[in-house]
Amino acid sequence: MYYSTIEITHLERVKNDKDAKESNLSAKGNLHTLSMSWDDDEPHKYDSKEVKVLESLKPHSNLAFLKIYGFREISLPVWMNHSVLTNVVDIEIADFKNCSCTYTHTHARTRTHTHTHTHTHTHTHTHTLNSQS
């Protein structure tokens, strides 16, 4: 069996969630690592487009590594707190510019790295290693 890596960049260019759904990530059972990023530094008005795009990029439950960079909305997609991520062993979340939420993943094997960048250029570093058996 082979495992694949997908890196999706410039998600700020995706016009609607229908375009994102076409990737059909939830059907890619051999997907091992998924990296998604927004690279736009333009001022951003909340319109929930990015939340819908990220919601549409829900990965398969076999995913082991998840990286999300530059997300600019105030809330995370529902699938990030569901059983979709049960096999994930490492999550890296960086440069969330407006997100007021905190991400908690309680799976025993998961290590979560969070680096948030707010509009005031304050940096918060949280490194959590869950040690539940």
- 123-129: strand order across its sheet: 4-8, 31-37, 65-69, 90-96, 111-117, 123-129
Residue type, 29: G
Q: What is the dihedral of CA 87, 85, 107, 112, to 10 degrees?
A: 100
What confidence tens digit (pLDDT) does each residue in 44-93 have? 555 668 889 999 999 999 999 999 998 888 778 888 877 788 888 888 88
Looking at the chain, the whole-number percentage of residues with pLDDT higher than 70 is 64
Q: What is the pLDDT of residue 116?
A: 46
